[in-house]
Each structure stands twice: as C-alpha cells, then as structure tokens.
Amino acid sequence: MSVLDVRVWRGTEDGAYQAFEVPRQASQTVLDVVTHIQRALDPTLAYRFACRVGMCGSCAMTVNGVARWTCRTHVDKVAADDRLEIAPLANLPVIRDLVTDMSTFFDKWARARGSFSGTRSRRDDFARVAPQSPARRDVDAAIECIGCGVCYSSCDVVAWNPDYLGPAALNRAWTLERDERDAGRAERLRAVAGDAGCQACHTHMSCSERCPKHIAPTAGIAGLKREVVRAALKGEL
Amino acid sequence: MSRRGEALLWLAQRASAAVLALCVVVHLATMIYAAHSGLDAAAILARTRGNLPWLAFYSLFLLAVTVHLPIGLRAVLSEWLGWRGRSRDATLIALALALAGLGMRAILGVFG
C-alpha cells in the first residue's frame, strides 16, 4: 500500500506545517485524510466538518494551494506525486489548525441584505412564480450556494479590500434581487453599492472557477452592477 | 464618495473603455500606416493641420483617456497601497487635469 506525504497547517496565523504519513486508500477524499490524521495520528488536530456529502459547506480547506470542499475532493484528483498540503481557508482569521473564524463571511451576508423580506401573510395564497421566467431562471442558477466560503477564500478583491462583501454575499443578494416576491430590493441595491460592493469586483472569476456547486457568482455580480448603475442613473440609489 | 458617485464612476470607466477600444485601434492603424508609407514629418503635418475630423477624433480619444485612467488608478491605489479618501481623489483629479492639458497641447501643436 502506498503512503501519502501530508503537510497540515498547525496553530494560528503564526503556525507552521506539520508532516504526516497517511496510508493511501481507494476512493479516498481529502476529508478522509484529515480524519485519519486526527483519529489515528494526532487527536489534537482541529478541523470542521458535518455532513460529508457536499451539503453543509463546513469542510472547505486550502488543498495544495486551492480552496476546495474536502469531503467531495478525491485525493486522486489533487495529490500529484502522493503529496498533499492542507491549510485553512485564506482571507479568514485562523482560529486553530484548519478551523477559520467565518463570522466576517456571514456578517457580510447580513450587510448585503441577504434575507428575504416578503409582503404576504400565512393567510394569503401562495405566490405564483413562472418557472421559465428570466428572473426565476437567474435565481435557479445561483440559489444552490452552501456557504462553504471557497469563493470568498479564492477572491483577490477580498484579499485587497477586506471590507469587500465578497462573491457569496453578493450572489445571495442577486438571488433576492431577482425574486419578484421580495419587497426589499431597492434597499438591497443600496447595500451592495459603493466601494466595498459589487462595483469593486474585477471579474477575475476565481469564485466561478472554484465554486464546488458550479455557481457563477461573477454573473450575479455583473447583474447587480447593472441594476446598481440603473438605479444610480434614475437617482434611486 | 457616495454610493451613487461610485456607481457613476464605474459606468464612466466602462463607457470610456468602449470609446478607447475603438480609438486605440484607429490610432494604431494610423501610426502603422504613417510609419510604413514613408511619410515624413512635413507630410504628416500637412495632413493634420486644420483637419477638423482629426482634431475631433483625437479630442475624443484624449477625453476617454482622461476619464479612464484616473478611475482605474483609483482602484489600484486603494487595493495595492491602501490609499483612500479625499487626498487620493484630489491627486487623481490633478492627474486628470494634467493629462488633459498636456494631451490637448500635443493635439493643438499638430493641428495648429
């Protein structure tokens, strides 16, 4: 049986990599590797996971320099020469080892007005949204975000401008801007405009390339840019 | 700067980029033609002096540069040097005016 040379980040921002040897298995995921290290080699290793099937968005890490969801990343696909370097997500403060503090990430969803504000009560009938309408299709394309932080960690603009809302929060805002039932759209456009908002995106598209759910936040951000400019020209911003 | 101001700057940069895309192609084609057809300075000046379409084209080109460059540099200064606020914007307005002044001087020098 072959062995994987694994280097894992230990400590906080001032930490260092620690080397481990992990037995190679068929169909092994990067999360399996981290779990093996914690269960068999060093129980003090801190990392985060929950569902193991690509739904919860909690196990994202930097694997050989690229942010990935580790539960659905097969070692075969990423470990050239049976080497793995596993680090916490970039652009977020490190709490310990592979665990980052995601408060800023989720606070930005709130800053981008990422919550639905409806107008109907439980006594009203269901809203009827045509599934084939352009707005609904835009929502469909962007709605499956699991909040893993891969896009945020891969974004150059977040690294350069820490106030920038980031791809995930803006993608969420876009799904609500295109939701015809939502009553807070004008207010949301104001929230995503400005120096730290959608106009700061340079369209590098790292978010779209790395999103494990194959969402293209860049497309949503481009839509927000158009909506914001329209509102600015009408004096509604 | 206000949210509206930021959005309009973004629009101005995109619009000026569209103008630049056209102007740069025309400018390069003209330069290559002038260099390869053996025109000397006197022959070029004979074509540009008093040529109003030429003046209008290069004035538009200069306007697009004057709008486009400072807005792009604004993002570079913020993101790479962390320079924000009024001092940055005032410096960039001064740069834009200098570009416009020097550019117009060059255009009028060849037109007049």
Least reliable range by pLDDT among A227-231, B2-6, B99-103: B2-6
Is the ipTM value over 0.90, yes or no?
no
Predicted local distance difference test score (pLDDT) of residue B112: 85
- Inform me whether the C-beta atom of residue B24 falls under 8 Å from chain A C-beta atoms: no
Residue A195 pLDDT class (50, 70, 90 cuts) = confident
The domain segmentation of chain A, as residue ranges, is: 3-100, 103-233
Domain span including residue B25: 3-111
At B1, the pLDDT band (50, 70, 90 cuts) reads confident
User: Identity (one letter) of the amino acid at B106?
Assistant: A
Q: Which pLDDT score, from 0 to 100, does residue A194 have?
A: 87
CA of B82, closest CA in chain A: separation in Å? 8
- How much is the average pLDDT of A50-59? 96
Measured distance CA(A57)–CA(A34) in Å, rounded: 16
Q: Which of B6, B8, B11 sits opposite A195 (nearest CB)?
A: B6
Q: Torsions phi, psi of B71, nearest 5?
A: -70, -40
What does the pLDDT look like over B46-104, one tens digit per residue?
Answer: 999 999 999 999 999 999 999 999 999 999 999 999 999 999 999 999 999 999 999 99
Confirm if A112 and A180 have CB atoms less than 8 A apart: no
Q: Could you tell me the pTM of the whole model?
A: 0.92
**Cβ-defined contact of A197 to B3 (cutoff 8 Å):** yes
The domain covering A103-233 belongs, at the CATH homologous superfamily level, to: Alpha-helical ferredoxin (1.10.1060.10)
Residues of B in contact with A193 (CB under 8 A): 3-4, 6-7
What pLDDT score was predicted for residue A1? 66
User: Residue A80 has what pLDDT?
Assistant: 79
Which residues in chain B are closer than 8 Å to A194, comparing Cβ atoms?
3, 6
Average pLDDT over residues A60-64: 98
- pLDDT, mean over chain A: 96
Average pLDDT over residues A39-43: 98
Provide the token pair at A44: 């003090």
Contact state of A232 with B78 under an 8 Å Cβ cutoff: no
Q: A195, B4: Cβ pair inside 8 Å?
A: no
Say how many domains are in chain B: 1
Nearest chain A CA: its distance from B1 CA (Å): 8
Answer whether A231 touches B (CB < 8 Å): yes
Give the residue on B whose Cα is nearest the Cα of A200. Answer: B75
* Structural domain A3-100, CATH architecture: Roll (3.10)
Q: Of B58, B71, B76, nearest to B22 (Cα)? A: B58
Q: What is the mean pLDDT of residues A103-116?
A: 97
CA distance A192 to chain B (A): 9
Please name the residues between 199 and 218 in chain A that touch chain B, using a CB distance below 8 Å.
199-200, 202
Do residues A236 and A186 lie in contact, with contact meaning Cβ atoms separated by under 8 Å?
Answer: yes
Q: Inspect the interface and report whether the beta carbons of B7 and A195 lie closer than 8 Å.
A: no
| pLDDT of B38 | 87
Extract the tokens encoding B44.
């070029």
Query: What DSSP character marks residue A29?
Result: B
Q: What is the CA radius of gyration of chain B?
A: 17
- pLDDT score recorded for residue A178: 97
- What's the CA gap between A96 and B107, in Å, rounded? 61
- Asked if the domains A3-100 and A103-233 are classified in one and the same CATH topology, the answer is no
Residue of B79, B86, B89 to mutate, testing the A interface (most A Cβ within 10 Å of its Cβ) = B79
CATH code of the domain covering residue B53: 1.20.1300
Question: Which residues from chain A sit within 8 angstroms of residue B86, using beta carbons?
Answer: none
Q: Per the CB < 8 Å rule, is B3 touching A233? A: no
Mean pLDDT of B19-37: 94
Helix B3-36, helix A217-233: angle, nearest 10: 100
* Nearest CB to A161 within list B3, B7, B79: B79
